[in-house]
Structure 1
């Protein structure tokens, strides 16, 4: 297995950045698109544990759209072969103490790159 093939890194980075733009602008349609539509998908958030695409989609639809801006402080993308990747980042939100962390696991599906697992947390 080859790690960090440049063309695969570029593909994943494009989707990772697309996700970030959608998140901060509350583009729910793109956020829904970029999560794998599967009961196996999960997302652990700052205050919720979501199991399956349907729970994640319902959460996105009900989530407040205020206070979503954040500054990406550091991001690390690692690809494993051509079909699997992890994206991790540290971020800062104005007025929120500490550093936020986000981890995403991406898999190439017939529909393109999709998040199959995600975790968001805040360090005090």
Structure 2
């Protein structure tokens, strides 16, 4: 192994695990011990959304937008369902219900677009 490779390996080993993972605006922080169920569910929804948003880009901006927005909107739905399971504020619960309705309609629209549009 070269000196550079050894130095890189040593640097990576020295980094905390959370610093080695890609983050999106700080959303991917490492879990804390004894997290509430809602936090675990939000983390899972966030990780699933970001994984699923990692689409294969086609070069067709319209199709790529539609394909990437479907998991993004699904993530919003999943997070809204977490707040409906665990939240108590009437305003936030009503907003979550509204988000679910709106995002489901937009997902249907995006899927219909993808179904009728050929990739380049």
Which of 1 and 2 has greater Rg? 2
Superposed pair shares fold, TM > 0.5: no
Higher relative contact order, chain-length normalized (CA < 8 Å, sep 6+)? 1
Q: TM-score, normalised by structure 1?
A: 0.25
Which structure has greater strand proportion? 1
Normalised by the length of structure 2, the TM-score is 0.26
Structure with the higher fraction of residues in helix conformation:
2
